Structure 1
Amino acid sequence: MLSVVTGFRAVLGAGCHRGPGSSHSQVRHAGHNKWSKIKKLKGANDLQRAKRTSKITSQIISSVKAGGGETDPAHNLYLASALQMAREHQMPKATLETALKKAVGGGSDGTEDLHSSVYEGLAPPGVAIIIEALTANKNRAFAEIRHALTKRGGSMTPVSYLFTKRGRIVFGAGSSGHSLSEMEENAIEAEVEDIVNLDETDQTVEVYCGVKDVLAITKKLSKIGYEMKEFEMAYISSEKVDVPEDAAENFGSLLDQLEGMDDVVKVHHNAS
C-alpha cells in the first residue's frame, strides 16, 4: 500500500518551475455550463456524505481492476482520480487505508464483484445524458435509471455519438500566489487543449485535454505549485442544449435523483 500512497503524492506533488512553452493558437476557450456550479453550491448532509464516501470507496477498489491491476496512481488515471476525489471530500484516513488495502489485496465484502456500466438517455428538453455506474447488478441499475428518466418524460436511447471522452482538470493557485491570468498562461504552456472556465469566485481554472495527457499535465501544473481540485476522464459534448426556465426544476430534480443512486458514479450531460 505504501507504493500507492507514495505514487499518489507524486501525482499531486508541488514545486516551483514552469513547463515548456507551447503555441497559444492551439488552445480553444470552451463554454462553461451553469449546472456544474449549481451542483457545487448544494450542501451535503450526513447521509449524502456517507453515501459519497461509500461510492468513492467502491471506485478506489474498482479502479485498480479498470487500470489492469496497476496500483501506482502515477500510471493509473482511474485510481489517481478516485484518490483525488477522496482527498477533495476529506475521506477519513482509516476509510481510505481500508479501501486501498482492498484495492491491492481484494476484499470479502462483495466489492470485487462490482462491474462498470455506461447508460445513455435523453432527458427533457432534449438534453443528452451519459450515466456511469458501478454495480453488482446491471439489471437493477438499468431499471432504476430508466425509471428516473421515463417518469420525467425522458427515455433510454443512444446519445454517445454526441460526446467525446476527454481529460478534465480543475486547479487553483495553491502555493504559487498566481493570478487567474497567470494560471491560464501556464495551462497553455502545459499544452492543454481547451480553457473551459476561469472562476473568479473560486479562483480556479478548468481545462480540457487528451485523456492520455491528464496525469502528465497535472504533474506539470503541480510543479508550479498549483493545487489540483479535480481531474478525471469526462464525456464532453460540443453540442450544448439550453434548458428553459420552465424545465429547469424538472431537469435539476432528475440530476439529483440520478446522482443520488447508490450505483451511479458520474452523470455527464450536454445542458448549457
Structure 2
Amino acid sequence: MAGHSKWANIKRQKAVVDAKRGKTFTQMSRAIILAARSGIPDPTGNFQLRTAIEKAKAAGIPNDNIERAIAKGAGNFAGDGSQLEEIRYEGYGPGGVAILIEALTDNRNRTAAELRVSFSKNGGNLGETGCVSWMFAQKGVCIVESVKNEDKLLEASIEGGAEYYEMTDEDTAEVFTEVADLETLSQTLKNQGFKVTEVELRWIPDNSVEVSDDQQARTLLKLIDTLEALDDVQNVTANFEMPEQLMAAIA
C-alpha cells in the first residue's frame, strides 16, 4: 500500500491547483448533490453532506455553487431534471493491477463507454461487476495534520473507535476506522484538539501488486490519470505498490 499512499499524497498536494479546473468543481458539486439527495439537505444532521461541503470549501468552491448543489439534491432547484446515480466500475490495469472506479453519472451507458476506451488505450480492460472488488475493503479515514504527540493521537484514536493509524509524513497521520464509526472518530479527534483536515471513505486493498518496471509504471499512472480526468469519475483506487523513487520520477 505504501506506493499507492504516496501517490495519494501527491494528488492531495496538487488539490489546490486542480481545484481551479472545472473538473474538480463538477466532482465536488455532484458529491454534494448526492449527499443532499440520500439524506436530509441540512449539513448539521447529514454527516456525508457536511463532509462534502467542507471539501468543497477547502477547494475554494464559491458558497453560491455549494448552495445550488444542495438545492439540486433536495429537488428545490427549478429547471434541474438530471438524475445522478452512484455506480462502481471495476477493471484491470497493466500488470494485473486491480482498479476500482467510483462514478456519479446521469448516463451510465456514456460513462461505461468512456471508461472502456480509457482502459483499452492504456493497457487495461474494464471488467464485470465483482471482478476486483473482493480484493478491497471500504474504510473511513481521517487525515490529521500537525501531529505533535503520537501517544496522544493513539489514545484519541482508540477512544474514537479507530482500528489503526499510519504516519504518512513527519507530522501527518491517516487514522482508519469502520465506515459506520467515521463521524464519531472525526468528532473525537477534533474534541481532543487534533487538526482533522479531511474525512473520507476509502477502498483499502487486501493485497497489492508490485510495479517496478519503468514503462509499466508510466502506463499504469497514465491510465489512472486518464480515468480521473473523466467528468463522471469521482474517485479511482488501485492495489499497486511502487518504489518512491520511481513514483517521484514519473510524477
Say whether residues 1:223 and 2:152 are aligned partners: no
C-alpha distance in 2 between matches for 1:46 and 1:154: 25
Q: What is aligned with 1:140?
A: 110
Name the stretch that deviates more: 127-136 or 70-79: 70-79
**Which residue does the alignment assign to 1:265?**
234
What's the counterpart of residue 208 of structure 1? 176
Alignment of 1:52-201 (within 5 A): 52-66=24-38, 69-73=39-43, 75-108=45-78, 110=80, 112-157=82-127, 158-173=131-146, 178-200=148-170
Runs of 4+ off more than 3 Å: 41-48, 72-77, 108-112, 177-182
CA contact (8 A) 2:87 2:104 kept: yes
How far is 1:205 from its partner? 1.1
Does 2:219 correspond to 1:250? yes
Q: Please say if residues 37 and 74 of structure 2, whose CA atoms lie closer than 8 Å, have aligned partners that are also in contact.
A: no
- Whether 1:238 and 2:238 are equivalent positions in the alignment is no
Structure 1 stretches of 5 or more lacking a match?
1-29
CA distance in 2, matches of 1:257, 1:95: 26
CA shift for structure 1 position 259:
0.9
CA contact (8 A) 1:258 1:267 kept: yes
- Within 2, Cα distance between the matches of 1:45 and 1:227? 22
Q: What letter corresponds to residue 83 of structure 2 in structure 1?
A: D
Give, in angstroms, the shift of residue 136 of structure 1: 0.7
Deviations 1:56-75 (A, max 9, x none): 11110111223xx3234455
Distance, in Å, in 2 between the alignment partners of 1:225 and 1:184 is: 13
CA contact (8 A) 1:196 1:206 kept: yes
Kept in 2, the 8 Å contact 1:84–1:231? The answer is: no
1:192 is matched by which residue type in structure 2? Answer: A
Q: How far apart, in 1, do the equivalents of 2:186 and 2:17 lie?
A: 31
Higher relative contact order (CA 8 A, sep 6+): 1
- Contact 2:43/2:50 (CA < 8 Å) preserved in 1? yes
Give the percent of matched residue pairs that are identical in Structure 1 and Structure 2: 33
Q: CA deviation at 1:179?
A: 3.3
List per-residue Cα deviations over 1:237-262 (Å, max 9, x = no partner).
12012222422211111111111110
Paired residue total: 236
Q: CA RMSD in A?
A: 2.4
The secondary structure found in structure 2 opposite 1:196 is: strand
Distance in 2, matches of 1:133 and 1:98, equals 21
Letter in 1 for 2:99: I
TM-score, normalised by the number of residues in structure 2: 0.84
Tell me the secondary structure at the aligned position of residue 192 of structure 1: coil
Aligned-partner Cα distance in 1 for 2:19–2:67: 21
Tell me the equivalent position of 2:249: none
Cα deviation, 1:42-93, whole Å, max 9, x if unaligned, reads 4665785322112111110111223xx3234455343233123213212222
Displacement, 1:168?
1.4
| Structure 2: tracts of 5 or more residues without a match | 242-251
Instruction: For 1:154 and 1:265, locate their aligned partners in 2 and report how far apart those are by CA, in whole Å.
Output: 19
* Inter-partner Cα distance in structure 2 for 1:172 and 1:109: 42
Alignment TM-score, normalising by the size of structure 1:
0.78
Structure 1 residues 112 and 267, CA gap change in structure 2 (3 angstroms)? same
Mean CA deviation greater in 215-224 or 103-112: 103-112
Give the whole-Å Cα distance in 1 for the aligned partners of 2:163 and 2:29.
Answer: 31
Preserved contact between residue 85 and residue 104 of structure 2 (Cα < 8 Å): yes
Question: In structure 2, the residue corresponding to 1:57 is in which secondary structure?
Answer: helix
Q: CA, structure 1 residues 185+31, in 2 after alignment: closer, same or farther (shift >3 Å)?
A: farther
Distance 1:116 1:141 in 2: 11
